[in-house]
């Protein structure tokens, strides 16, 4: 199925309709206007906020808007570290942060060509860790906080589904660096990351990248079958 196909079935229909509406109907209330400054962001995050494996840039499309605003504010303040994003965030006013994050959260971007080549055994091991957790260095299942199939829960627990492998791995490494600098509080993501070894990070990143992005999961009913559909 190509993304422009007007004959797309089921799930594809909503994507095709969204693209068609964007392109064809400026008169309708439809999609929000592209805010000033968004051109800078799309260089790494993709024209539709779909993220980029090459830039290790996360998917922003469909992510919780409040989460994005909060985390970009943390990047601006330096309470979240990223050599790439911090200088960019520092150049934004609070109003711009609000406008840009609501815009990208509202996009329903196509899926980035992510992790297509992850070996099946890696993905399988990652699925077990994400869904069941690990016993050796006890790790809670990722879905216990991030929701079914990593689709996210409210503003506090971001969706981690359909993200580029490179972003997932580097973000998990950042949590680990943070934990070395200062003992993390129990029950935080920083603490969870201290239980993961390198092999587990590769596994779970491979698995999560294969899941359909959160907004696609939300659009598809019923939730109980979404997992089987997605486990390709």
Q: Is 57 in the site for ligand HEC (CB under 6 A)?
A: yes
Contacts of residues 143-150 at CB distance under 8 Å and 24 or more positions apart, as own/partner, are 145/189, 145/192, 148/223, 148/226, 148/227, 149/211, 149/212, 149/217, 149/226, 149/227, 149/230, 150/208, 150/211, 150/214
Shortest gap between Cβ of 8 and ligand HEC (angstroms)?
Answer: 28
The residue within the footprint of ligand HEC, chosen from 25, 187, 199, 223 (CB under 6 A), is 187
- Map residues 142-161 to x or -, x wherever contact with ligand HEC holds by CB under 6 A: x-xxx---------xxx-x-
Determine contact, residues 127/207, Cβ cutoff 8 Å: yes
Reduce the DSSP state of residue 31 to 3 states and report it.
Answer: coil
User: Locate tokens 């603490």: which residue?
Assistant: 191
Sole binder of ligand HEC in the list 22, 98, 140, 219 (CB under 6 A)? 140
Q: Which of 15, 16, 19, 41 binds ligand HEC (CB under 6 A)?
A: 41
Name which position in 37, 73, 176, 220 contacts ligand HEC (CB under 6 A): 37
Give least dist CB 54 to ligand HEC, A: 10
The one among 100, 110, 161, 216 contacting ligand HEC by CB under 6 A: 100
Measured N-to-C along each axis, helices 165-181 and 198-210 cross at an angle, to the nearest 10 degrees, of 140
Contact mark string toward ligand HEC, 64..93, x via CB under 6 A: ----x--xx---------x-xx--x---x-
Q: Is 107 left (phi over 0), alpha (psi -120 to 50) or beta?
A: beta
Partnered with residue 52 across adjacent β-strands are 57
The residues, any chain, with a CB within 8 Å of residue 12's CB and separated by 6 or more, are: 1, 3, 5
Residues that bind ligand HEC (CB under 6 A): 37, 40-41, 43-45, 55-58, 60, 63, 68, 71-72, 82, 84-85, 88, 92, 100-101, 129-130, 139-140, 142, 144-146, 156-158, 160, 167-168, 170-172, 174, 187, 189, 192, 196, 204
């Amino acid at each position: 199925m190509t993304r422009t196909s007007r004959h797309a079935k089921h799930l594809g229909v909503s994507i095709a309709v969204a693209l068609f509406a964007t392109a064809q109907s400026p008169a309708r209330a439809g999609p929000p206007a592209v805010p000033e400054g968004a051109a800078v962001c799309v260089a790494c995050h993709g024209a539709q906020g779909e993220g980029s494996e090459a830039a290790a840039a996360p998917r922003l499309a469909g992510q919780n808007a409040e989460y994005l605003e909060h985390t970009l504010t943390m990047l601006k303040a330096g309470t979240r570290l990223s050599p790439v994003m911090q200088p960019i965030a520092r150049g934004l006013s609070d109003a711009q942060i609000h406008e840009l994050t609501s815009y990208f959260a509202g996009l329903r971007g196509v899926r980035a060509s992510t992790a297509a080549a992850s070996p099946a055994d890696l993905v399988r091991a990652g699925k077990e860790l994400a869904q069941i957790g690990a016993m050796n260095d006890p790790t809670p299942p990722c879905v216990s906080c991030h929701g079914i199939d990593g689709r996210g829960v409210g503003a506090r627990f971001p969706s981690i589904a359909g993200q580029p492998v490179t972003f997932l791995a580097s973000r998990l490494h950042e949590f680990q660096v943070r934990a070395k600098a200062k003992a993390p509080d129990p029950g935080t993501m920083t603490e969870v990351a201290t239980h993961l070894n390198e092999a587990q990070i590769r596994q779970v990143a491979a698995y999560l990248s294969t899941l359909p992005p959160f907004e696609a999961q939300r659009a598809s009913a019923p939730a109980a079958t979404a997992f089987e559909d997605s486990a390709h």
